[in-house]
Amino acid sequence: MQEQSAGSFFFQGAVEAAIAAGYRHIDTAYSYNNEVDIGKALCSKTKQGIIRRQDMFIVSKLWCTHHAPEDIPVCLNKSLKDLQLDYLDLYLKMGDELFPKKDGKMLTCDIDYVDVWRGMEALQASGKVKSIGVSNFSILQLKRLLALCRVPPAVNQIELHPYLVQTDMIEFCKSKNIALTAYSPFGSPARPPELFRGDTDPHKLLEDPVVADIAKKHRHSPAQVLLRYHVQQGIAVIPKSDKPHHILENTKMFDFSLTEEDMRALRGLDRGWRACIADCCSVSQNQVSSILPLCLRLPGEWREQTAHWIDEYHKHQQASDQLHTVCCTCSITHCNSSVPCLHNNNRI
Ligand SMILES: NC(=O)c1ccc[n+]([C@@H]2O[C@H](COP(=O)([O-])OP(=O)(O)OC[C@H]3O[C@@H](n4cnc5c(N)ncnc54)[C@H](OP(=O)(O)O)[C@@H]3O)[C@@H](O)[C@H]2O)c1
């Protein structure tokens, strides 16, 4: 669950409603600025005897400002403190993020994500994190990680829905025993207006006629069909809602099955469209520089991918301006202005 616009009491209430409805997997991140409220909700439901710690699956994410080896535990410890937990079930390293900016330039860091991963492995060894995974990693990044690391990523959390089917990624992850988590399953209809891309933007996945027809046939809602689509492929899915009736509705997807024809029709909607353009806006210097030395020694596909990344990095640096706002506590600009800076702890 990402940060909500409403007050924290409201947000805590939404998490409590989700737990009461049966949700046990909570997705958060330090940068979502909601971990204190999630911690309160977890505490409250534990005190009421509704849940025990071991019933829950709590996922958080390392922030891009904390990639230096000594900073990685700092970010985790902050999340644990805010969530009032002594361990996480899964901690994710993002593959691409919005880095802070200063004087119009992105403050990226050149730490190789493979080295960051070694820091993640150390967290797992410490017992503060049960599993480690990645988010928004490409197949190329996963291949490199698998080739160089001791602990393979347990999960890749990526955007997935019928407008972004990603068959290659699904097959690759299955072949490597990497579980997938699908985010933005409804195409993130509440994303900020600056992330909409005009009339051609097919942002109404929930209103797509193909989805609507399948929903009508099964006497379920379009949202339930879009969730069932993942579950039926063995993919975990993390919808977001702060409305109690939607929170409940989204749990009711285990009492029907989509036919092979339904699945084909849904996959047929694929158009390679992403709701979260942040990931392509923020192809970082980190990705470029860490992959470059390797690619210079390798021909073909790898070299092409690198050229593609460098291209994207330059192309989208400008677009990412729209996604950055001035931080509430310092002059550096962030993707999320309400997240207090931890700049004194980082190396960028
Ligand atoms: N790793 C990453 O880079 C990354 C990026 C983006 C998101 N995520 C994760 O994925 C989660 C979900 O992604 P998201 O928020 O982008 O998109 P989403 O789940 O596709 O969309 C959320 C929107 O759908 C609406 N909705 C929920 N249930 C509904 C229903 N049954 N009927 C109609 N509308 C419904 C919600 O409105 P109401 O509140 O009004 O119900 C909300 O506006 C996030 O909270 C975050 O944890 C991860």
Report how far ligand 1's centroid is from the alpha carbon of 314 (Å): 29
Give per-residue pLDDT as tens, 276-295. Answer: 765 433 444 444 444 333 33
Q: State residue 306's pLDDT score.
A: 47
Which protein residue's CA is at the shortest distance from atom 43 of ligand 1?
190
Cβ–ligand 1 contact at 7 (below 6 Å): no
pLDDT single digits (tens) 3-61? 433 445 578 999 999 999 999 999 998 878 789 999 999 999 999 999 999 999 999 99
Ligand 1 center–CA 69 separation, angstroms: 32
pLDDT value at residue 333: 47
Whether 67 lines ligand 1, by a CB cut-off of 6 Å, is no
Cβ of residue 190 lying under 6 Å from some atom of ligand 1: yes
Q: Measuring CA to CA, which residue among 171, 136, 170, 180 is closest to residue 29?
A: 136
For residue 276 and ligand 1, the question of a CB distance below 6 A is answered with yes
Quote the pLDDT of residue 178.
98
What separation in Å is there between the alpha carbon of 238 and the centre of ligand 1?
8
Whole-angstrom distance, CA of residue 240 vs CA of residue 236:
13
- Whether residue 27 has its Cβ less than 6 Å from ligand 1: yes
Q: What is the pLDDT of residue 5?
A: 36
Q: Is the pTM of this model over 0.85?
A: no
Q: For 61-103, how does the pLDDT look when each residue is reduced to its tens digit (9 = 90+)?
A: 997 777 788 889 988 999 999 999 999 999 999 765 555 555 6
**Cα Dmax for the chain:** 59
- Going by the DSSP 8-state scheme, the letter that residue 153 receives in this structure is P
User: In this structure, which residue's CA is closest to atom 48 in ligand 1?
Assistant: 183
pLDDT at 230 exceeding the cut of 50: yes
Report how far Cα 223 is from the mean position of its chain's Cα atoms.
19
Digit-coded pLDDT (tens) for 239-277: 999 999 999 999 999 999 999 999 999 999 999 888 876
Q: What is the pLDDT of residue 22?
A: 97
| pLDDT value at residue 194 | 62
* Pocket of ligand 1 contains residue 246 by CB under 6 Å: yes
Distance in angstroms (rounded) separating the CA atoms of residues 323 and 278: 8
What's the pLDDT score for residue 136?
87
Give the Å distance between the CA of 183 and the centre of ligand 1. Answer: 8
Residues annotated as catalytic are: 32
Alpha carbon distance 215, 228 (integer Å):
11
Q: What is the pLDDT of residue 9?
A: 56
Find out whether 309 and 288 touch, Cβ atoms under 8 Å.
Answer: yes
The whole-number average pLDDT for the span 100-118 is 70
Q: Which pLDDT score is estimated for 97?
A: 57
pLDDT in tens, 193-226: 766 766 656 668 999 999 999 999 999 999 999 9
pLDDT of residue 103: 61
Residue 185 Cβ contacting ligand 1 at under 6 Å: yes
pLDDT at 316 over 70: no
| Confidence (pLDDT) at 98 | 56
- The model's pLDDT over 333-346, given as tens digits with 9 standing for 90+, comes to 444 434 444 444 33
Domains (ranges, CATH) in the chain? Answer: 8-192+273-345 (3.20.20.100)
Query: Computed from CA positions of residues 217, 221, 225, 231, in that sequence, does the dihedral angle turn out positive or negative?
Result: negative
Instruction: Identify which of 37, 183, 276 to mutate to test ligand 1's pocket (most ligand atoms within 8 A of the CB).
Output: 183
Q: Which residues pair with 136 in a beta bridge?
A: none
| Contact predicate 67/345, CB 8 Å | no
Q: What is the Å distance from ligand 1's center to 190 Cα? A: 7
Please state, rounded to an integer, the average pLDDT across all residues of the chain: 80
Ligand 1 and 4: CB distance under 6 A? no
CA of 16 to the centre of ligand 1 (A): 17
